[in-house]
Structures are given as C-alpha cells and as structure tokens.
Structure 1
C-alpha cells in the first residue's frame, strides 16, 4: 500500500489536509496535532509554498494508531512505540506491537491468579492459614525450635511457603504491611495466623502488579469490607479488557504505519 501524499492504494488522489482538518478528523486539537508531530508520533508534515503544513491520510492513520496505543499502554509507551515503528525492519515493528498484546495478556493472567488466591484465602476451611510447614522448601528450617505458638511460622518458613525471599518479607514489614511478633531475647520474627494470612494477600496483590502504596490502601479497605479487594480486581480486569480492545481496534492503522515507513530496510 502506498501512503505517500498524492496517491493511495486504489490510485485515487490522496487529499491534502490542513492542521485544522487533521485535528477535526482525528478528534485532537490543533495544538495537540502540532505537539505530537514535534514529538515524532506522526511524520513531519511537508510545507506548502505558503508555509502551511500539509498532511495526508498517512498522518490520519498515525494519529488514530496513537489514540488506540495511548488507551492500551499509556501515552508515554504509545509515543515511544509509534516512533519506533518506522525506525527498523517491519518484522521488528510487528513484534513490538505483539509484545503489547502479550503484556496485556500477562496482566490479565496475573489478576486472575490474584483473584483466585484471594478467594482461596477467604474460603479456607481446612486450617487457619492454609499454609503449613509441609509447604516450606526442603532445608528451610531456620528458626525451628524458636519459642512461640505452635502454629506460628519463622521468617524462613513463611518465605519458603510463599515463594518469596526473606528480604522481601522484611521489606513488607518495613513498609507497614506486616507486623510479626518478636520472641526471645534475639527478637526473632514469628508470624502468627493473622499475619500469615495478610502475607498471603500481600503476595497475591504484588504478583498482580500492585505497588506497595496500593497494597497498603487495599489492606485498609479489606479490613473494613472483606469483599472490596475482589471488586477492585474485577475493575482492573475490566480495564485490561478495555485496553485490549483499543489495541485491537488500532491494529489496522498500526499495520499501515509500519508498512509506510519509508526509511525501513528489510
């Protein structure tokens, strides 16, 4: 498909567009069009003899592609991606778009896994925490024999059961997410039933991509209303679906942008 000004794939003349025309067609303001051109999101427009910018269908497609990318991945990633689509081989550009699809798929899978973990924690009926020392990796027996309730776990035991480093548990404690007991004169950490359950929730939310501050807020809300976290995860899943659809809708425009890269050498 030719995307050069003056012709299209069907041989029809490619209309010349003023900045205001391009803004009207794509739903951006005139200033946004100029800013996105300056940032390299759309190709630099040639100038007419009177000095005005002259745009074409190529610029329309690039702006439509950017709109979908911005919804799917955010404006910063969208700008970087659009600039990169015309700088290398078409196969590499197509792979960059595929990577965005894959990232959304992973995000959705992580959220589903977190939701399943939280439901399992809430529904457990076979034990107070759902974790036992049989869940601990072989050889992870540090802390065994240290005083404390029989159903409490040492930091090594809990880290092994959750599949996280002990340094991670210490960081969560430092951030105020966990509050283990300290026993013996050595102030050894012991994680009781409630703290162990909280650690499982934190692990599930962190695996779903939540930052420390967001996890802290969710724990507070979870304490007030147990079903709140699941509702928030459902909202995140709906958002991933919206972003995925936006990326799918941008697909044809992205393909045209890739094919129209004049500097590409395959």
Structure 2
C-alpha cells in the first residue's frame, strides 16, 4: 500500500514536469495575490482543485493550484467572474474535448463582440456621412413608427422603449397623437441602433445621446465604440494568457488526488 501510494505521488510529479512541491495556504496566497480566505472560497466553489490534507487537517497545495488561480484571474478579466467560475468548474468535470470546446467558445464570443462593435462604428460613420449631404427637412418628411421599425430591423415596442428612456423623441400628430419621426429623430434612432449593435446597454447609450446634440458631436459615439474595441482587445489578451494556464490544467491530473488515499 505504501509503495502504491509513493508511485502515485511520483507519477504526478513526472506528469507535471517537476518534483512535486507542497505549499501551505499562506504560501499559495503569497504566490497568487489572493487572500487566504479567497483561496478557501475558490476551492469550495470548485474553481480550483481540492487540496490534499495533512494528518493535522491543514491544506496542502501544489503549483497546479497556483496555475488554476492565475487562470481564473485572467478569465475573470476577459469574461467576468461568473463566467470565469463556470469555466473553471466545467474544465474539471467535462471530457477533454468538451472542456477544450468550452474555452474556444469564449474566444468566439469576444470575436463576435469585436465584430459587432466594428459594425456599429461603420454604421455610425455612414449615418454621419449621409447627414452631411442631406437636404433640409420639409413638412411631412417623416417616418411612422412602423416604417422606422422596419428600416432599423427592430420592433415598434423597442422604439417606444427607447422613447421612454429619453433616447429618441418622436413628434406627435393628428387627433390620435400618432408618433412620427422627422429626419433628426430618425438619425438619433439609427445611432441608438448602432450602439445597441455594438453591445452597449441603455444607461451607457443614454450618456452618449445626452451629449450627442447633433451629428457634429458624433465624436462622442465614435469614442465610445473605440473604447469598446480597446476594452475587447485587453480582454482578449487576458484570455490568451489564461489559455496557456488552462492548457496546462487540462493536461494535469487533479493534484489533490495524489495522496487522498494515502495512509
């Protein structure tokens, strides 16, 4: 039994490519910049593998735990802490090919966000270019809510919601106060649609629209979208860093199991 247990420890050491070293919770905290309590919480949540225990009950960690903590930190930067926790849990319980696919999906998601932001930026530039050559509005040169919703590819209820949020202000005409959208309101609606396509939420769009008094100040919307692209790039770099650590975790046995049944 003792020989079998020793073989298992040596096997883990060879698999990880170095001699097996044990670390206390405090040592792992110092190496990872997490607090002792955070490490305990992350272990309890299944973000990092379970630690081995000494006869006195103290936890024993390995460098794989430090790698897992580093991977989680970068994942949290790239996709947020909730998705990061779910990913760390999934790669430990899923079959190898499914775990790899789980990570690939994160890259695809960020790439899609970047494409959306670029599409929104192109749409905004197109709106500004069109407005420069647009003739002055004439009476009756407006769109109904049905026409505008069809032009933007959104529901009429979405336009009413944007109106309630102060993003778009249609005019009211006729005895039934029917909404109509003059050219200025149409442009605002198109800017809102472009920002929504870029992944912006209503509060952020509201801040842009408040300062967007006319299309000459569309710089604010452009800067917001360029900031979004910079943010996506930074998150993508963090995901690339996490990828190297995640690959190591996928190829490593659970460190806590090496001595879990040793006497």
Fold conserved (TM > 0.5)? Answer: yes
Taking structure 1 as reference, are residues 19 and 5 closer, same or farther at Cα in structure 2, changes over 3 Å only? farther
Q: Deviations over 1:210-249 (max 9, x none)?
A: 1112211110122384311211211111110010011111
Residue 54 of structure 1 is matched in structure 2 by 60
From 177, 182, 192, the counterpart of 2:167: 177
* C-alpha displacement of 1:99: 0.7
Residue 87 of structure 1 is matched in structure 2 by 93
Q: Deviations over 1:163-217 (max 9, x none)?
A: 1111211121122211111111121111001100000001001111111122111
Segments of 5+ residues of structure 2 without an aligned counterpart are: 1-7, 255-263
Residue 30 of structure 1 is matched in structure 2 by 36
Residue 197 of structure 2 is matched in structure 1 by 207
Whole-Å separation in 2 of the counterparts to 1:215 and 1:48:
55
Whole-Å separation in 1 of the counterparts to 2:223 and 2:156:
30
From 107, 122, 127, the counterpart of 2:134: 127
TM superposition score normalised by structure 1: 0.84
Whole-Å separation in 2 of the counterparts to 1:118 and 1:11:
52
Query: Which runs of structure 2 are paired with 1:222-233 in the superposition (5 Å)?
Result: 222-223=212-213, 225-233=217-225
RMSD (Å), alpha carbons: 2.2
**Contact preservation (8 Å) 1:154, 1:190:** yes
Residue 43 of structure 1 is matched in structure 2 by 49
Residue 191 of structure 1 is matched in structure 2 by 181
Taking structure 1 as reference, are residues 15 and 192 closer, same or farther at Cα in structure 2, changes over 3 Å only? same
> What is the SS of the residue equivalent to 1:250?
helix
More deviation in 6-15 or 189-198? Answer: 6-15
> What is the SS of the residue equivalent to 2:58?
coil
TM superposition score normalised by structure 2: 0.85
Taking structure 1 as reference, are residues 92 and 6 closer, same or farther at Cα in structure 2, changes over 3 Å only? closer
Structure 2 residue 114 is the aligned partner of structure 1 residue 108: yes
Taking structure 1 as reference, are residues 193 and 4 closer, same or farther at Cα in structure 2, changes over 3 Å only? farther
Which structure is higher in RCO with an 8 Å CA cutoff and minimum separation 6?
A: 2
Taking structure 1 as reference, are residues 11 and 171 closer, same or farther at Cα in structure 2, changes over 3 Å only? closer
**Contact preservation (8 Å) 2:145, 2:156:** yes
Segments of 5+ residues of structure 1 without an aligned counterpart are: 130-147
Whole-Å separation in 1 of the counterparts to 2:103 and 2:230:
21
Structure 2 residue 256 is the aligned partner of structure 1 residue 256: no
Which structure dedicates a bigger proportion of its chain to helix? 2
Structure 2 residue 173 is the aligned partner of structure 1 residue 167: no
